[in-house]
Amino acid sequence: MPEVLSVLVKTPLSTIMDALGDPIRLKIVRMLLEKGEIACGGFDLDLPKSTRSHHFKVLRDAGIILKHEEGTSIYNYIDRESLEERCPGLLEMLTQAEPPY
């Protein structure tokens, strides 16, 4: 393992940016910003559920979304409070960014 890598490791912020660097995950986040809560399957993404689940996990591990089981359904939603504390202005930036996203 090269010594250089020990100098710069993944940080919370770079992890967040990395998670948002994928077009699919970025679309998921934007859908959540628009519609509030969405069940994992409630996306019009033509992807197998294993792929979807993977992307949701990346977003969860980055601290961007949380999930919330209510009865029979599992909803995903954006952890606005935590995000606003760690990256003030990020969510507002995402909603204001120019298309195409």
Q: Is 91 a binder of DNA (CB under 7 A)? A: no
Q: Helix H segments across 36-74?
A: 49-61
Locate 10 and state its tokens.
Answer: 């993944």
Q: Does position 39 bind its own copies by CB under 8 A?
A: no
Q: Which residues contact 61 (CB under 8 A, 6 or more apart)?
A: 15, 19
> Does residue 42 belong to the site contacting its own copies (CB under 8 A)?
no
For residue 44, the minimal CB distance to its own copies (Å) is 10
Residues 3-32 that bind DNA (CB under 7 A): 4-5, 18, 21-22, 24
Q: Is 24 in the site for its own copies (CB under 8 A)?
A: yes
26 binds, among DNA, its own copies, none (CB under 5 to 8 A by kind): its own copies
Complete edge-to-edge strand list for the sheet that includes strand 73-78:
38-39, 73-78, 65-70
Tell me how far apart the alpha carbons of residues 39 and 43 are, in angstroms, rounded to a whole number: 8
User: Residues 41-80: x/- map of binding to DNA (CB under 7 A)?
Assistant: xx----xxxxxxxxxxxx--------x---xxxx------
